[in-house]
Amino acid sequence: MKKIYMVGICGTGMGNLALMLKRKGYEVTGSDSNVYPPMSTVLENAGIKILNGYKEENITQLPDIAIIGNVVRRDNVEAQKLITSDVTYYSMPEALRIFFFDDKETIVITGTHGKTTTSFMTAWMLENAGLKPGFFIGGVPKDFETMGRAAEGKHFVIEGDEYDTAFFDKESKFFHYKAKYLVINCIEFDHADIFPNLDSIKNAFKKLIGMIPQDGVIVYNAEDKNIKDIIGVAKCKTVSFSASDVAADFSAKNIKVIHGDIETNTQPKLVFEAHNNNSVFTFELRVPGHHNVLNAIAVIALAKQLGISNEKVSHALSSFNGVKRRQDVYGISGGRIIIDDFAHHPTAMAYSIKAIRDWYYPRKVWCLYEPRSATSRTNILQNEIIDAFGKAENVLLAPVNQPERVAPEKRFDPDLVCKTLREKGINATAHNSVDDMVGYLADNTAYGDVILIMSNGGFGGIYSKLMETFRG
């Protein structure tokens, strides 16, 4: 049995990979500087030993293979010991390809937004079609028991991140995935810590498009100007999709929200028509938002390229429960509906606000935002964030997470954002702490209100604090 040692094992991706390797029969151990539940508990329950902290003495015997996560820096003592030895070492994307899909037809889902949901929607579609796909996706699904598994069939679905790979490989992760089928949802500026501007991100996607083989297919969003600027370099078939009046090979039209009732447990749904050439087929979704219709029409277009019938796709979409932390009902307390959402980029925030307002109309919606990611801590997209809140009624901003990591003149300014929003007639308040936000909501919300919490982190435990406060 080969021994694999993983440096940075407790991250979502690395932990997921560790579990997949363990299930495949490898002896897996690893280390991390942040060993805490739930990932540490999941790994230990699977029989994977975790060492707390990075120390050279952790590696008493060299493994057969090492996998080094992208959170690990070049000066990490364990990484240095491994890469200067004779041990074969890989980045996480390399290991995934080598161990799980080198011989598969890879479906890579990319784009600034929508990757996780579209990836799970694709995997669920393939599962419903009886094709038993493998997948590796950076989120927690509601329809599968795991975030990743080996393929029994010939397809492997993977979320294609443009972020860099490792300290020894600074190119985007998605270059490693040997995509035969590529989906591009959208291209916008993000990851300000590694990309200097939008053109550098477009160049990465342009390179990826050029890597798709002639017998492959690219399914792309016809509404996105940045994609249309570069799609011409493709050597393979390209198929466009749209959920607006923009012309495309596959278009979603006549989109309607059928409202439910939380009191009677009647669930809302989205109904839309998919138009392709002269054919029209009606689909339903149980997840909210125009952006999810856009995700779904991408999956419908992809399914056509894979030879999967509309009937099978319809069953998959109508039974798709979504992804945790994507417009996800965290709980209901004191009649308030608390929604957990991963949105932190302005476009995704705007999508979420509109989706929740439409889904729960005519209830009052309160939008909470935590500036936490490397980009949202800065003021680079501050004006776009103000625009994203343009459709909101009530906005609460938390303090910038780890503000010391950004110079004051480059830092996101909650007070200025709220002042600007109030000038637009929006009830907007900046708060000094999570407890202050909870107290404000306790005093100002009413039975039936919806609280939309947007953060890519834990938001200081605000979810459980709200549940407890309203319950009392």
Q: Is the pLDDT of residue 91 over 80?
A: yes
pLDDT for the residue 338: 96
Most confident of 85-89, 347-351, 357-361: 85-89
Strands (E), 266-364: 269-276, 279-285, 328-333, 336-341
Q: Is the pLDDT of residue 36 over 80?
A: no
Q: Is the pLDDT of residue 456 over 70?
A: yes
CA-based torsion, 172, 346, 340, 35: positive or negative: positive
For the chain, the average pLDDT equals 93
Radius of gyration (C-alpha) of the chain in whole angstroms: 23
Does an H or E element contain 405, and which?
Answer: none
143 within 8 A of 320, measured Cβ to Cβ: yes
194 within 8 A of 218, measured Cβ to Cβ: no
pLDDT for the residue 187: 95
Does an H or E element contain 293, and which?
Answer: helix 290-305
323 within 8 A of 120, measured Cβ to Cβ: yes
What is the per-residue DSSP string for 235-285?
SSEEEEEESSSS--SEEEEEEEEE--BTTTTBPPEEEEEEEETTEEEEEEE
More confident position, 458 or 439: 439
| Of 82-86, 118-122, 187-191, minimum mean pLDDT range | 187-191
DSSP code, position 100: I
Q: Is the pLDDT of residue 316 over 90?
A: yes
pLDDT for the residue 262: 58
Q: What is the mean pLDDT of residues 16-27?
A: 96
pLDDT for the residue 434: 95
With b for 16 or more beta-carbon neighbours within 10 A and e for fewer, the 219-247 pattern comes to bbbbbbebbeebbeebebebbbbbbeeee
Spell out the domains of the chain, with CATH numbers in brackets.
3-95 (3.40.50.720), 103-319 (3.40.1190.10), 328-471 (3.90.190.20)
Residues above pLDDT 90, as percent of the chain: 79
Confidence band for 259, pLDDT divided at 50, 70 and 90: confident
pLDDT tens profile 190-237: 877 888 899 999 999 999 999 999 999 999 999 999 999 999 999 999
DSSP code, position 143: S
Q: Is the pLDDT of residue 83 over 90?
A: yes
pLDDT tens profile 373-389: 888 899 999 999 999 99
Does an H or E element contain 184, and which?
Answer: strand 179-184
pTM above 0.85, yes or no: no
pLDDT tens profile 105-153: 999 999 998 899 999 999 999 999 999 999 999 888 889 988 999 999 9
- What token pair was written down for 466? 């709200």
Q: Is the pLDDT of residue 472 over 70?
A: no
Q: To 10 degrees, the CA torsion angle through 99, 102, 103, 108?
A: 110
pLDDT for the residue 183: 98
Q: Is the pLDDT of residue 322 over 70?
A: yes
Confidence band for 359, pLDDT divided at 50, 70 and 90: confident
